[in-house]
Amino acid sequence: MGTGVFPAWGRMPVAYAGRVKTKVAAMRILRVLLVLLALGFCAYSVASQWDDTTKAFREMSWATLAGSLAAGLAGLFAWMLGWRTFLGGLGSPLPLRVAFRISAISQLGKYVPGKVWALVTQIEMAREHEVPAERSFGSTLLAVATSTACGLAVASVTLPLTSAAARERYWWLFPLAPVMLAALHPRVVTWCLGTLLRLVRRPPLEHPVSLGVTLRAVGWTVLGWALFGVHTWLLCAAVGGDGAGLPFLATGAYALAFVAGFLVFIAPGGIGAREAALTVVLTPVLPAGAPVVVAIASRVLLTGADLAGAGAALLMARGPRAAKAAAEGDTTGNDRHSGNERSARTLVRGTQPTKERP
């Protein structure tokens, strides 16, 4: 009996490890292809309006552009912290460095037509850090819903009193803000996520999100909106905008434009719809032609912010990854037999040994 059990028990880890390695290699290749595809779309987006971009940048100082870029980077970082807060609240806290890497690289997927690529990349990258897919899925949906709800709330607070154009053209979006904010209540969120996970035949969440986690994530998200408002306000001021209400108008205009771009499912990164909404809201308060300049400059700068964040994440990952690979290589070389035994125990943990079939 003993001789019938151990051959099969010994072969199981090898076959399982082979499938795991194949899947990991395939996901890495797909991730590289997705990043390259996203970079291609980014390059096309900038190249297609190169003349307008250079004209817009000539009308602004380098200090203004640098400040606006820095505000955009800070806004993206604040939103990443909101997503990380949700993920930790669902039971998978990640170190800041890891969370930044996953978020920055996966966000390039939003430049590929369709809204699923960033989500898919984020789930697969988080899986490498032992984050279950249902938690990644839930935290990302929560982060998107929170940014959309808070964006509508920011626009609803700032625009009705500062922009007649926004009141006339986008009035139907403003009543959705309190509804979406109410939908962020943990009881509603838990029910919605549980229903979605059942539909896709995934296990339920072990740690439903709490009210405290939701409030902290909302705080990071609102801070992100304020920073994006600074980003837009600096551009508006550089092209002749003034007045005490300009910072509030600029913040609301960008929030409304972002939501409008998000609702256009096919357009990568909301391109076109975001610029149109931003131009409509800013036209009455800026000199002729200036709203288009602001819209183009904002798009290019925030694209640059996404690329800079992804580049920084890749550079940050190289050092630790190389050191880890070297350490694993030394361990394997010095104690190959014990390393294989540890790997086998890890791979088959929780698996019942079975007899070998004759």
- Distance, in Å, from the CA atom of 142 to the CA atom of 185, rounded to the nearest integer, reads 11
CB 344 within 8 Å of CB 20 = no
Amino acid 194: pLDDT = 87
pLDDT at 354 over 50: no
Is position 344 within any domain? no
Domain hosting residue 225, numbered range: 18-43+59-323
Is position 70 within any domain? yes
Q: Which candidate, 186, 39, 195, 182, places its Cα nearest to that of 117?
A: 39
Is position 172 within any domain? yes
Is position 219 within any domain? yes
DSSP string, 58-91: HTS-HHHHHHHHHHHHHHHHHHHHHHHHHHHHTT
Amino acid 244: pLDDT = 78
Lowest-confidence region among 148-152, 229-233, 338-342? 338-342
Per-residue pLDDT tens for 184-235? 999 999 898 888 888 888 888 888 889 999 999 999 999 999 999 999 999 9
Please work out, in degrees rounded to the nearest 5, the angle formed at the alpha carbon of residue 354 by the alpha carbons of 350 and 356.
145
pLDDT category, 160, cuts 50, 70, 90? confident
Amino acid 265: pLDDT = 56
Residue 172: Cβ-neighbour burial (10 angstroms; 0-12, 13-18, 19+): exposed
pTM higher than 0.75: yes
Average pLDDT over residues 152-177: 85
Higher pLDDT, 202 or 155: 155
pLDDT category, 333, cuts 50, 70, 90? very low
Average pLDDT over residues 165-179: 84
Amino acid 201: pLDDT = 83
Is position 53 within any domain? no
Is position 333 within any domain? no
Higher pLDDT, 145 or 261: 145
Per-residue pLDDT tens for 196-206? 888 888 888 88
Average pLDDT over residues 35-63: 72
pLDDT category, 353, cuts 50, 70, 90? very low
pLDDT category, 22, cuts 50, 70, 90? low
Lowest-confidence region among 15-29, 138-152, 310-324, 339-353? 339-353
> Which residues have C-beta within 8 Å of that of residue 214, sequence separation ≥ 6?
89, 146, 184, 185, 186, 189
Q: What is the chain's percent helix, strand, coil content, to nearest 5?
A: 80, 0, 20
Please work out, in degrees rounded to the nearest 5, the angle formed at the alpha carbon of residue 36 by the alpha carbons of 33 and 39.
150
The phi and psi torsions of 286 (rounded to 5 degrees) equal -120, 160
Q: Is the dihedral of CA 258, 138, 324, 38 positive or negative?
A: negative
DSSP code at position 337: H
> Which residues have C-beta within 8 Å of that of residue 17, sequence separation ≥ 6?
343, 347
Average pLDDT over residues 21-29: 63
Per-residue pLDDT tens for 94-125? 999 999 999 998 888 887 776 677 888 888 88
Lowest-confidence region among 100-109, 166-175, 302-311, 313-322? 313-322
Is position 4 within any domain? no
Average pLDDT over residues 68-83: 96
Number of domains forming the structure of the chain: 1
Is position 346 within any domain? no
